[in-house]
Amino acid sequence: MSNQVVCREATHSGSWYSASGPQLNGQLEGWLSQAQSTFRPARAIIAPHAGYTYCGACAAHAYKQVDPSITRRVFILGPSHHVALSRCALSPAHIYRTPLYDLRVDQKIYSDLWKTGLFERMSLKTDQDEHSIEMHLPYIAKAMESRKDEFSIIPVLVGALSESKEQEYGKVLSKYLADPSNLFVISSDFCHWGHRFHYTYYDESQGEIYRSIEHLDKMGMGIIEQLDPMSFTNYLKKYRNTICGRHPIGVLLNAVAELRKSGLEMDFSFLNYAQSSECRNRQDSSVSYAAGALIVH
């Protein structure tokens, strides 16, 4: 095996977010200044992964809950958009680049995860093509900047998992979720609505289409707040809501369920909701975004 340090470049900077460190820093500070820190210290957050012009302000509500003084490891669970995966995959990279500063992958935790036999390796190309993890890196770098040399990241690409696989990964990761020095970032947008997403569910009793979408999303968000993985699975089966991070969310809910067996008390609360645009007719399309945080009592 080669000892060469593999770097994952910031492949979406300059298009999905600013490639300029000072400009990006200013934008992140602006969004964070508008958010309240009501759910600190978060043990896990759910936040969106679209272009920052669409979801940067929403994501800030989750990242405002991060406490850098206690966080030493950041697990990032992002869905695979381009490659068919039935399991979870780890990156070959040692360093993830951002316009702010580089983030170091925790090789010790990676080694422990490998030993479970449950993880596969993604190629560097797969990693660099995927945006679901990368879009969180600048926000993590910003939230953790006061301790920037004192933490590592654990990126995990999550495939289209079965219910039993979500349980299995939830169990494996629950011991890490139990540790107050770990933060879990769950990468997910919410409803992708419109013909281009092959999803046009519309409950006319809610009024305009965008109101129906909001009602559908908030129903799902309420179920996530109950921290019951089975209820979330049943909701997805019933409505087919196109929540792209449903499997990372499912893994988190199963990890929480595992910890609750041992008496740990936790609360999850959504703090912000937004849509990329307001759909009013069948030709429109939109993506929804939500930001929330989990605290452990």
User: Are residues 39 and 54 in contact, defined by beta-carbon separation less than 8 angstroms?
Assistant: no
- pLDDT of 242 above 90: yes
Q: What pLDDT shows up at residue 2?
A: 52
What is the DSSP track for the chain?
Answer: ---PPPEE--TTBTTTB-S-HHHHHHHHHHHHHTS---SPSPSEEEE--S-HHHHHHHHHHHHTT--TTT--EEEEEEE-SSS--SSEEE-S-SEE--SS--EEB-HHHHHHHHHTT-EEEPPHHHHHH--TTGGGHHHHHHHTGGGTTS-EEEEEEE----HHHHHHHHHHHHHHHTSTTEEEEEE----EEBGGGTB----GGGSSHHHHHHHHHHHHHHHHHTT-HHHHHHHHHHH----TTHHHHHHHHHHHHHHHTTT--EEEEEEEEEESS---STT--EEEEEEEEEEE-
Comparing 2-16, 89-103, 241-255, the range with the smallest average pLDDT is 2-16
Q: What pLDDT shows up at residue 105?
A: 98
Q: What pLDDT shows up at residue 1?
A: 45
Pairwise CA distance, residues 209 & 285, whole Å = 10
What's the whole-number mean pLDDT along residues 123-129?
A: 97
User: Are residues 132 and 47 in contact, defined by beta-carbon separation less than 8 angstroms?
Assistant: no
CA neighbor of 157 nearest in space, from 137, 186, 179, 178 = 186
What's the whole-number mean pLDDT along residues 223-252?
A: 98
- 196-220 confidence digits (pLDDT tens): 999 999 999 999 999 999 999 999 9
What are the structure tokens assigned to 220, written together? 């799902």
In whole angstroms, how large is the CA radius of gyration of the chain? 18
What's the whole-number mean pLDDT along residues 50-63?
A: 98
User: Are residues 154 and 109 in contact, defined by beta-carbon separation less than 8 angstroms?
Assistant: yes
Predicted TM-score of the model (pTM): 0.97
Q: Which pLDDT band, with edges at 50, 70 and 90, does 101 fall under?
A: very high
- 22-35 confidence digits (pLDDT tens): 999 999 999 999 99
- pLDDT of 98 above 90: yes
